[in-house]
A and B are shown apart, each in its own frame.
Chain A
């Protein structure tokens, strides 16, 4: 059996022709993981036994009714899956076994998807390199010396290595798009609220969003169509109904974000790749202009104040009482403090401290409130730009994948790698990263496309057509079979 084009459509078409069975595909998936994952470390947990059992209930006559019939999926390990460990790559949840399943995961299962494992991440999704996992660091399949990006680095690398055709991630400040960019795959962060966050371990509730990874835009679109929609278990979920759009790319107007084009710190090759995309769009007859969003330059401080404040509140639930690690102290307060002191890793502690400080009496107005006001100005900048343009484009990340250890000692330089993705979360917009080329080291470069809120279908339609024109076919040497 040979699987060259590891896409959902091609897998389903092989199933229908009788050339492939879900069991054969699972054999292929687990064989690939066993051969290569010791080098890449995408997975924390494999759900092999479950997966083989789950395919038994697939009925071939339902293949056209279930969009993800027999499609193996990897789940980021901050999403609950009943009966299987959900660690968030943290010691504090090392042995936590949820008694329920996240809505997004359940919807994938209901659509016929087969969960094959849980993937590594930066602890509690806090990081941009997957080096903050309490267990191990994931490697980039394109170059094992380099990081896969973060925090959904396990999911991005699992798709890049062709272990699985589809994976889920969560994106608070770029945690789907940035690793997709580093790993040369497609990563989609939908509009805030379109996918329920029930069962996602919360990091920053006004920013968190679940989304899919795939090798092609059509695959993430299919996964999104399944996962999205109102959920009674998440009061912030939106009654969004997915309908696919089929509008010619030539009809769209595109703005290039000046602040993420002319700014310092962007690699010349990353900018050249963007220039190439602009040239392509213009030759297709699209109107492309440079447009300015003047408050975008404040996104980083705004994000880190808002996200850490929300995190300090959300992570208060980890106190060693109802679940997770407990380290006994002489009284309840000391038990809380010891549990949290020993259970959380250094980046999580740094963020809890920053957030607690920003919310504490005397500093609230100067930090959290100020940041929330500047957030309004950033949202307004986007609204203004979208009056003129259908989409905004920019590089997904200022650089290609960096080497392990390069940024671990300097939190600020690590934070800067999310500079182009963070503004999108502050405004709750849909954003997708697609591969736009490679640098001279052969590492993939990502292009980010940002759309109006709830215009997810248009973003996917545009990205799909642009993907065909760019025709990125490179893939890492390592992985798959």
Chain B
């Protein structure tokens, strides 16, 4: 069964902040949807290989040739925050002395 705890755990995995009312409606919707999907258990899939792609694709190799890329300033043009040639994000590694 899908309970609040599962919803919050999955939301954490998905990096998705949810409001209380969203948790409630997702609990109900996902419960209903997954319940309907239980019909798949009726199908015998012993010895059936899974299909992950419509047609067989193997590793695709190409020559390792250096090509021109997009200019850095263009790549950065859509960034919410950037400096010089970098994307700016909140600090990830804590400073020494707990600052």
Interface flag for A369 (CB, 8 Å): yes
> Tally of A-B residue pairs with Cβ under 8 A?
158
The answer for the CA separation of A44 and B89 in the assembled complex, in Å, is 31
User: Distance (Å) between the CB of A410 and the closest chain B CB?
Assistant: 9
Minimal Cβ-Cβ distance residue in A for B18: A341
Interface flag for A91 (CB, 8 Å): no
Q: Are B22 and A427 in contact (CB under 8 A)?
A: no
Given known contacts A312-B14, A377-B45, is B87 in contact with A322 (CB within 8 Å)? Answer: yes
Q: How many residues does chain B have at the interface if contact means C-beta atoms less than 8 Å apart? A: 50
User: Distance (Å) between the CB of B40 and the closest chain A CB?
Assistant: 5
Q: Are A192 and B39 in contact (CB under 8 A)?
A: no
Which residues, 1 to 51 on B, are CB-close (under 8 Å) to A?
A: 6-7, 10-11, 13-19, 22, 25-26, 29-30, 32-34, 36-37, 39-41, 43, 45, 48-51
Interface flag for A329 (CB, 8 Å): yes
Q: Are A206 and B7 in contact (CB under 8 A)?
A: no
Interface flag for B99 (CB, 8 Å): no
Choose among B7, B17, B36, B92 the residue that contacts A341 (Cβ–Cβ < 8 A).
Answer: B17
Given known contacts A321-B79, A323-B78, A340-B17, is B33 in contact with A354 (CB within 8 Å)? Answer: yes
Minimal Cβ-Cβ distance residue in A for B54: A428
Q: Which residues of B contact A316 (CB under 8 A)?
A: 15
Minimal Cβ-Cβ distance residue in A for B73: A99
Minimal Cβ-Cβ distance residue in A for B17: A341
The answer for the CA separation of A316 and B37 in the assembled complex, in Å, is 25
Interface flag for A387 (CB, 8 Å): no
Q: Are B77 and A97 in contact (CB under 8 A)?
A: yes
Q: Which residues of A contact B45 (CB under 8 A)?
A: 370, 373-374, 377
Q: Are A322 and B78 in contact (CB under 8 A)?
A: yes
Q: Which residues of A contact B30 (CB under 8 A)?
A: 350, 353-354, 357
Q: Are A375 and B43 in contact (CB under 8 A)?
A: no
The answer for the CA separation of A379 and B39 in the assembled complex, in Å, is 18
The answer for the CA separation of A427 and B33 in the assembled complex, in Å, is 23
Given known contacts A96-B78, A341-B16, is B51 in contact with A375 (CB within 8 Å)? Answer: yes
The answer for the CA separation of A375 and B40 in the assembled complex, in Å, is 11
Which residues, 43 to 88 on B, are CB-close (under 8 Å) to A?
A: 43, 45, 48-55, 57, 60, 62, 70, 74-75, 77-81, 87
Interface flag for A203 (CB, 8 Å): no
Q: Are B49 and A376 in contact (CB under 8 A)?
A: yes
User: Distance (Å) between the CB of A455 and the closest chain B CB?
Assistant: 14
Interface flag for A338 (CB, 8 Å): yes
Interface flag for A50 (CB, 8 Å): no
Q: Which residues of B contact A372 (CB under 8 A)?
A: 50-52
Q: Are B49 and A353 in contact (CB under 8 A)?
A: no
Q: Are B90 and A301 in contact (CB under 8 A)?
A: no
Given known contacts A99-B70, A333-B15, is B40 in contact with A301 (CB within 8 Å)? Answer: yes
Interface flag for A295 (CB, 8 Å): yes
Given known contacts A341-B16, A374-B40, is B79 in contact with A304 (CB within 8 Å)? Answer: no
Interface flag for B96 (CB, 8 Å): no
Choose among B6, B40, B54, B87 the residue that contacts A192 (Cβ–Cβ < 8 A).
Answer: B54
Interface flag for A336 (CB, 8 Å): yes
Given known contacts A332-B92, A349-B16, is B22 in contact with A369 (CB within 8 Å)? Answer: no
User: Distance (Å) between the CB of B32 and the closest chain A CB?
Assistant: 6
User: Distance (Å) between the CB of B21 and the closest chain A CB?
Assistant: 10
Choose among B54, B62, B90, B91 the residue that contacts A206 (Cβ–Cβ < 8 A).
Answer: B54
Given known contacts A321-B79, A322-B79, A326-B81, is B26 in contact with A350 (CB within 8 Å)? Answer: yes
Q: Are A328 and B90 in contact (CB under 8 A)?
A: yes
The answer for the CA separation of A100 and B70 in the assembled complex, in Å, is 9
User: Distance (Å) between the CB of A196 and the closest chain B CB?
Assistant: 14
Q: Which residues of B contact A367 (CB under 8 A)?
A: 34, 37
Interface, chain B (partner A; CB < 8 A): 6-7, 10-11, 13-19, 22, 25-26, 29-30, 32-34, 36-37, 39-41, 43, 45, 48-55, 57, 60, 62, 70, 74-75, 77-81, 87, 89-92
